[in-house]
Amino acid sequence: MSGAEDTSPNEPHPQWKPEYKRDHVYLHVIPRDRAKGALNISPFAIKLEFWLRINKIPFETIDSEQFSSKKQSPFILFNGEEIPDSNFIVEFLCKKFKKDPYPGLGPIERATSRAFLKMTEENMTWPIFVYRYVEHTDEYADYFFPTVPREQRLKILETLTDWVGKRAYGHGIGRHASADIQKIGCDDIQAISDYLADKNFIMGDTPSLVAYVPMKYPMRIYLFDKCPNIIRFLNRMRDNYWPEWPRLEESKTE
């Protein structure tokens, strides 16, 4: 699948449709029917949609086979312009809609928020990806591309195994034993749980960019066994901003 081509600022993006509205966000994500038991196979797509919902920014989610010009998903189209990368998208929309990504926080709290965000995105997602795409593809096939035959799913996952494995090795986390990789993820979860304590949200009483932590498998087991405050936090987020998504207690065994 090829990425979208760069276009002139004066020309609409090739995927921009005549019926699209101005000042409306069109969030392009990996097709949602590729996931079972989750809203999307990409945690970054879920994070970005959560942020749009929290900030009440008008948007529509578009299932798309295309990647951005940076070969990434998700990306948005806004007034004919492509904006890739979830964090750059948030920065762009904050300026357009006059939103604060860390509302009500001082410099130290903002720095702490950024550190947690980067820990989640740059470190904690890797144990999930390694488990899914490298070590347990046969198990993950039950949750991946549920609309296609299982044999085809396994072939698709086979192509991802080498790619994800090489990326994990280049990152550094893929050089460790499987148990050590999962311990890294569980230690990150514990750090979030310790910092969250009994607060409503990670950084006090207002949701910010540190809003959603996608967890599955060994890390999910650790979450339910050791960190009930994060379960309560995630359910508060879902109840307030994404009520059609089942609460965690309802999907614990999925």
Summarised one tens digit per residue, pLDDT across range 36-87 is 878 888 989 999 999 999 999 999 999 999 999 999 999 999 999 999 999 9
Q: What is the pLDDT of residues 142-176, one digit of tens each?
A: 889 999 999 999 999 999 999 999 999 999 999 99
Q: Which residue type does 171 have?
A: H
25-97 CATH: 3.40.30.10
Does pLDDT of 21 surpass 50? yes
- What's the farthest any 2 CA atoms get from each other in the chain? 54
pLDDT value for 11 = 79
* Least confident interval from 8-12, 92-96, 165-169: 8-12
pLDDT value for 23 = 97
Domain boundaries, the chain: 25-97, 107-251
Q: What is the pLDDT of residues 176-231, one digit of tens each?
A: 999 999 999 999 999 999 999 998 887 766 665 555 444 457 888 898 899 999 98
Burial class of residue 237 in the structure, from the number of CB atoms within 10 Å of its CB (0-12 exposed, 13-18 middle, 19+ buried): buried
